[in-house]
Amino acid sequence: MRRLSQSLHGMMSSSRDVEGETALADMVVSGRQFYEAQQYKRALEQFTRAMKYCPCARGVKRERCTCKNFERVAAEEGCIFKEAMYNCKCDVGRTFNKCDNRNHIQALDYRAATFEALGKLDRAKKDAEWILELAPRLPDTMKGYLRLGKVARLQKNHEFAWKIYNAGISINKDVEVASSPKLQQLYKARTPLHRHFSRKDPLRLPTEIAMLIFSYMEFTELPPCLGVCKLWRRTLTSPLYDRLWRTMIFPGRGMKRAPRYDALKKMLSWAGKGGARKIVIPLPKAFLLNQQKLTLLLKASPCLEYLEIGPQFDILMFPPKENMWTKLRHVSINGTGDPAKPAWSTPVIPIGGFPLAFLNNAAASLEHLVLTGIPEPWYMTQSVPFLPNLKTLRMCNISTLRQSFPIFFLSDAFPRLEQLWIGPNIPNLDSNSLSGWREKWHTMWNHLKVLIFEESSVVGPISQVENSLLTLRLLTCLNYGNSLQHIRFDIPSDNEDRHGRHRVFSNSRTLHGDIDIPQYPEFRNLHSLASKSLCISPDILRLVFSDALNMGKIQSFDIVFPIESLNDRVGDRSITHLKGYEWLRGAASITSMGCYRFRFRSYPRNDDDLPLPQFLASFPNLETLSIFSENYEEAEFAGVVAAILKVTTLKTIYTTSVKGAVMDQLRTVAESQGVKLIWGHQPQAWPVPLDES
């Protein structure tokens, strides 16, 4: 009987629960109908009755918890979920449990919406917060986050709204967005706020991350950051951020205002002990560089490692006596500010001209020197600094001088040179002084790995032109050519003289009978041979470079085609020239090639008329092609490139022979083949990266 009584009691209780839930749902439906009819007072009554009717109330009035302060927690970057779930010290938490009744949650949501419609946003906010309090984990609680975020936006509290949306998204991070319309609404509601409020004050991040962020800024963008607020100024000028002020790269053109002396002094103090490590002033005139500023920059930076100063219009004196720059590795200076009276191109260098003493004082550490404007005494082998550890030298002029430059005497001043770039505007090299170096021939520049000679025009008598090319031939014979890894000769000339004799890469044994010069250099370690203008016989190149090719060393190779004469049939010379490179065809080591100045048959009918595509296709690892020719109209040249694209597996093509609409069409064709077509020349790094293996 007792079991029967308990069973009947359970059935009656279950029946009452169903009836109560139905009544609760009916109240919510009724309240919503009143809301849609804009009968807000009656809607509020129905929603309030539904909330009281929920079983969680236990037949008594359920109050809100007053312990929770979501806005304070959000402002302090706290966890809104933990605030809703655990922070309760009043009687509400001890009297009532959490509630997962969806009708109760809906009643609260609709009542908050009704208060919104009545303009009672504070009441609406309390009901939205109550939803979070009742069921922090219930999926329907997303309504609470949506409602509270909406109310916060209506109250113009946009940052709080953004944080509420974030909290709702974070709690439901395990829910598939596509399967939850409410979660999609949360993301949509957050979107217009996210771009603005997702930004963080970088100085509130860990110092390492903040340093990384500010390191991407231009140096001249740092001083304006000090005006953001006192915190930024105090932090960015503290010792923790001294590295930001150690790389002082000033802009060339576009500098709004040159920094004053006192401003430079402050920046150098913020760089900490040792001052700046890198100073770059590309336009001293725009920088208003004077003697006072130059002295300050150098003397305040005893740990300076990199110095670059552009054209000097005023004669400035580098500190000559202080032997303090023991870490200076790179110097780039330009003494050609005024072409009418270059500071260094006079027989007698004035006080404050070429910084000979300054360079000598940094000789122990200096490894890289870029010199624009060769001092006049250098042509007479005078006033050259002794830099025993110099590895790279790049020197050029702004105007062409007819007198010859005695290049070999620099081997005494820079004995460990690894990379040498001569030009432009040093067209006339002098080899006659070599006879005085007979005893040092076998030890001269034993470490030379890169040789570049660049000249846009050859001036002077024929004898000087011949002498310059002869000097290049001798330079390639140093160490039997075996130390050289990269050669680039850009000379607007053919390798054959008017008598048909080869100038560079030819028999050198007869040049100086008193010096043991090899007949042909070996080039066992050559990685690249580059030229855009010097046409060399393929037979000579085969004789000189085939061993390096067979050893798998050569990775980059340029071919310059001969200029056609008026008597030639169109294409004959280029076709014959390319046939001479059969020894090169199919080399697996080559990944980059250049083809210049070619002219094949017009309207080619077969590969014999246009052999270049199949020639390039023979290289299995070819990835980069530089291709230029002034002998084509743009449309016809584009056809040649398109034919190359069909049969090769290139990744990148550089050219300037097409532009405009033709370039756009050709780029579309290239992209369809997975090839990147770039207008311009392939970048040339300096110093050249070397293979140390």
Task: Tell me the pLDDT tens digit for each residue of 593-632.
Answer: 999 999 999 889 999 999 999 999 999 999 999 999 999 9
Q: Looking at residue 164, what is its pLDDT?
A: 86
Average pLDDT over residues 407-415: 90
Give the start-end residues of each E strand in 268-382: 278-281, 306-311, 330-334, 368-372
What is the overall mean pLDDT for the chain?
84
Residue 624 to residues 296, 488, 653, 683, Cα–Cα distance (Å): 47, 17, 6, 12
pLDDT tier, 13 (very low <50, low <70, confident <90, very high otherwise): very low
We find that the CATH architecture of domain 555-693 is 3-Layer(aba) Sandwich (3.40)
Q: How confident is the model at residue 468 (pLDDT cuts 50, 70, 90)?
A: confident
Q: What is the pTM of this model?
A: 0.74
Question: How confident is the model over 214-222, as a mean pLDDT?
Answer: 91
254-312, pLDDT tens digit by residue?
777 889 999 999 999 999 999 999 999 999 888 999 989 999 999 999 999 999 998 87
Per-residue pLDDT band for 7 (boundaries 50, 70, 90) equals very low
pLDDT at 300 (0 to 100): 94
* Cβ 146 vs Cβ 152: under 8 Å: no
Helix then strand then coil, in percent of the chain rounded to 5, is 45, 10, 45
Structure-token match 């009916």, residue found:
26
Structure tokens at 15: 């029946």
Q: What is the largest CA-CA distance in the chain?
A: 132
Q: Which pLDDT band holds residue 351 (cuts at 50, 70, 90)?
A: very low
Rounded CA-CA distance 448/484 in Å is: 6
CB 389 within 8 A of CB 364: yes
* Bridge partners, residue 393, by sequence: 369, 420
Among 132-136, 415-419, 579-583, the range scoring the smallest mean pLDDT is 132-136
Distance set, CA 476 to CA 209, 448, 471 (Å): 49, 10, 9
Residue 147 in tokens: 């409602």
How far, CA to CA in Å, does 44 sit from each of 36, 50, 125?
Answer: 12, 10, 15
Q: Is the pLDDT of residue 232 over 80?
A: yes
- Asked whether the predicted pLDDT for residue 182 surpasses 90, the reply is no
Kindly state the tokens that stand for 318.
Answer: 């580098």
The residue-averaged pLDDT of 332-348 equals 62
**CATH fold for the domain made of 15-197:** 1.25.40
**Alpha carbon distance 480, 488 (integer Å):** 17
| Of the candidate ranges 3-17, 214-228, 341-355, 501-515, the one whose mean pLDDT is the lowest | 3-17
- Predicted confidence at residue 450, as pLDDT, reads 96
Q: Tokens representing 659? A: 């532009």
Residue 513 pLDDT exceeds 60: no
Cβ–Cβ contacts within 10 Å for residue 156, how many?
A: 8
The percent of residues in the chain predicted with pLDDT above 90, rounded, is: 39
Predicted confidence band of residue 4 (pLDDT cuts 50, 70, 90): very low
Q: Please report the pLDDT score of residue 12 as a whole number.
A: 40
Task: Name all contacts of 406-409 with Cβ < 8 Å and 24+ positions apart.
Answer: 406/379, 406/381, 406/430, 406/433, 407/471, 407/475, 408/433, 408/434, 408/437, 408/444, 409/381, 409/384, 409/433
* Residues 590 and 624 sit within 8 Å (Cβ to Cβ): no
Query: What 3-state DSSP class applies to 477?
Result: helix
Cβ(362)–Cβ(328) below 8 Å: yes
Rounded mean pLDDT, 89-116: 82
d(CA 637, CA 152) in angstroms, rounded, equals 64
Interatomic CA distance for residues 254 and 287, integer angstroms? 11
Q: For the segment 634-667, what is each residue's pLDDT rounded down to a tens digit?
A: 999 999 999 999 999 999 999 999 999 999 999 9
DSSP 340: T
What is the pLDDT at residue 673? Answer: 93
For the chain, the C-alpha Rg in angstroms (whole number) is: 40
Its sign, for the CA torsion 242, 248, 254, 256, is positive
